[in-house]
């Protein structure tokens, strides 16, 4: 009976019951090293509806997505769990589509840089047209990120790929590096477009629609150098002064983020080191196969043995290369994205502390002003009282 109930639930949610061959739900893509292991995972997924009490942590305005949105596969990004939540008033139709493609190198007498074509298609009424095409360089993306943080200091802004790369890992203008950055920039813009608040930011709209000269002109309309220096000084002063009465919830949150950041950074470094050692092992092992083949030509009695060793080495090379592809495409980007998000969370907590420090400072200044005002009023009332008493005494003496 239990098997029939599970089969019925699987049919109602378009999930395969058996999961033979390690296929993911609805995807038809076999999971490496997971043959025959998807059935228990799917059973756990299908039994989620029996534990409805565990879902009370979500707000009343949010509900979990349909069961077919869950997959036993590894999450592809830190937003994978966030994407499981769907708000009731959220529109189902997407009205903003962004594509980042066609990287192009520019060489000047001063610098060399890469620009990317950004194509935007939209049906929103606040846009003057339904399609836009502009070119942006990495510095423009940094400007957009800074403007979003300035306008929404307590929101988690999607992370950008780092401007500088690890020395010795890849060339700066290597095709693989440029393609990796293009994908990251594409993901960055689309995450902003899918955000319920950031997508309507005016600077984001200018970034998508303005030509290069218009964007340069728009950048100059912001706060001047002295204003930015003043903001930086106030931020440093607030950070040095610190927060006097940080709420306990934020204390726990900050401690958790710091601990998580340390651990995920350690995992990222270990993963990078494992990949580097795997690559060195692969490069060295590739040379052994041809050596054994050449060796077999001079050893008639060991021909079959040496060729067998060469064949085994070739199979090991292919298996190692496949494992390296899995690391570079599945593990390393996801782990490093968690690192970037942990840094973003720490920045959000710092900005939140800065806002509270400014509030505490203003409340303290207001308290002092109120105390001074009360003292002035008390002094004035005392003076009026003494003057009144003096007049009364003078009147009584005149009457006598």
pLDDT per residue as tens digits for the range 241-276: 566 777 888 888 889 999 999 999 999 999 999 999
Please give the average per-residue pLDDT across 276-299, as a whole number.
87
- Is the pLDDT reported for residue 22 higher than 60? no
Distance CA 307, CA 47 (A): 53
- CA distances to 293, 300, 302, 310, 326 from 313, rounded to whole Å, are 11, 20, 16, 5, 20
DSSP 8-state symbol, 116: E
pLDDT of residue 357: 83
Q: Is the pLDDT of residue 148 over 50?
A: yes
Least confident of 1-10, 173-182, 234-243, 248-257: 1-10
Which one is predicted more confidently, 180 or 76?
Answer: 180
Please choose, from the candidates 329, 322, 337, the residue with its C-alpha nearest in 3D space to the C-alpha of residue 282.
322
DSSP assignment, residue 195?
S
Distances (CA, A) of 248 to 46, 245, 252, 343, 390: 37, 9, 6, 21, 57
pTM of the model: 0.62
CA angle at 246 for the pair 351 and 243, rounded to the nearest 5°: 60
Chain position carrying tokens 């009360």: 374
Residue 162: predicted pLDDT:
78
3-state secondary structure of 96: strand
Q: What is the pLDDT of residue 80?
A: 45
Instruction: Give me the pLDDT at residue 186, please.
Output: 94
- For residue 328, the model assigns a pLDDT of 86
Q: What value does the mean pLDDT take over residues 139-168?
A: 83
pLDDT at 238: 56
* Element spanning 105, H or E: strand 96-107
Q: What is the pLDDT of residues 179-235, one digit of tens each?
A: 888 999 999 999 999 999 999 999 999 999 998 888 888 888 766 555 556 555 555
Query: Minimal CA–CA distance to 77: which of 356, 263, 341, 349?
Result: 341
Cβ neighbours for 260, distance < 8 A, ≥ 6 positions apart? 342
Among the ranges 16-20, 69-73, 170-174, 359-363, which has the highest mean pLDDT value?
Answer: 359-363
Kindly state the average pLDDT of the residues 338-345. Answer: 91
* Residues 68, 45 contacting (CB under 8 angstroms): no
Of 25-29, 247-251, 384-388, the least confident: 25-29
Contact 354, 238 (CB under 8 A): yes
Task: List phi, psi (to 5°) of 234.
Answer: -65, -40
Cβ contact 62:90 at 8 Å: no
> E strand or H helix at 87, and its extent?
strand 85-87
Give phi and psi for 302, each to the nearest 5: -115, 20
Contact 359, 165 (CB under 8 A): no
Rounded Cα distance between 79 and 74, Å, is: 12
What percent of the chain has a predicted confidence (pLDDT) above 70?
A: 68
CA angle 302, 304, 310 (to 5 degrees): 100
pLDDT digits (tens, 9 = 90+) for 355-366: 888 888 888 889
C-alpha torsion 215→217→221→227, nearest 10: 90
pLDDT at 132: 93
pLDDT number for residue 206: 92
- Looking at residue 140, its pLDDT comes to 93
Helices (H), the chain: 2-12, 38-46, 138-151, 175-194, 202-209, 212-220, 225-241, 248-286, 288-298, 303-326, 332-399
| Confidence (pLDDT) at 144 | 94
pLDDT at 198: 93
103 DSSP assignment: E
Check pLDDT > 80 for residue 37: no
Mean pLDDT score of the chain: 75
100: pLDDT strictly greater than 90: yes
pLDDT of 365: 87
């Amino acid at each position: 009976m239990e098997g029939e109930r599970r089969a019925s639930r699987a049919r109602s949610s378009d999930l395969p019951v058996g999961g033979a061959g390690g296929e993911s739900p609805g995807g038809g893509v076999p999971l490496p090293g997971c043959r025959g292991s998807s059935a228990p995972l799917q059973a756990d997924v299908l039994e989620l509806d029996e534990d409805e009490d565990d879902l009370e942590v979500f707000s009343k305005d949010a509900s979990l997505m349909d069961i077919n949105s869950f997959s036993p596969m590894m999450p592809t990004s830190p937003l994978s769990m966030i994407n499981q939540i769907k708000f009731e008033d959220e529109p189902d139709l997407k009205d903003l589509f962004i594509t980042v493609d066609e990287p192009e190198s520019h060489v000047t007498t001063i610098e060399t840089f890469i620009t990317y074509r950004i194509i935007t298609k939209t049906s929103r009424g606040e846009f003057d047209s339904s399609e836009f095409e502009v070119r942006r360089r990495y510095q423009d993306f940094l400007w957009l990120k800074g403007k979003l943080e300035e306008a929404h200091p307590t929101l988690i802004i999607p992370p950008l790929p780092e401007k500088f790369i690890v020395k010795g890992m890849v060339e700066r203008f290597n095709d693989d590096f440029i393609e990796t950055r293009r994908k990251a920039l594409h993901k960055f813009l689309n995450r902003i477009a899918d955000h319920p608040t950031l997508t309507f930011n005016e600077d984001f709209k200018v970034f998508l629609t303005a030509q290069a000269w218009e964007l340069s002109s728009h950048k100059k309309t912001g706060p001047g150098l002295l204003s930015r220096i003043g903001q930086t000084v106030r931020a440093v002063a607030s950070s040095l002064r610190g927060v006097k009465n940080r709420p306990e919830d934020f204390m726990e949150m900050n401690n958790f983020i710091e601990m998580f950041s340390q651990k995920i950074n350690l995992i990222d470094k270990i993963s990078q080191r494992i990949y580097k050692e795997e690559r060195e092992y692969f490069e060295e092992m590739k040379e052994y196969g041809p050596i054994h083949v050449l060796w077999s030509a001079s050893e008639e009695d060991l021909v079959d043995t040496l060729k067998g060793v060469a064949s085994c080495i070739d199979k090991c090379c292919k298996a190692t290369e496949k494992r390296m592809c899995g690391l570079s495409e599945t593990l390393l980007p996801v782990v490093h994205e968690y690192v970037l998000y942990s840094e973003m969370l720490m920045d959000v907590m710092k900005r939140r502390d800065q806002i509270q420090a400014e509030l505490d400072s203003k409340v303290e200044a207001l308290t002092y002003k109120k105390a001074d005002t009360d003292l002035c009023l008390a002094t004035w009332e005392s003076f009026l009282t003494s003057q009144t008493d003096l007049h009364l005494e003078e009147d009584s003496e005149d009457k006598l």
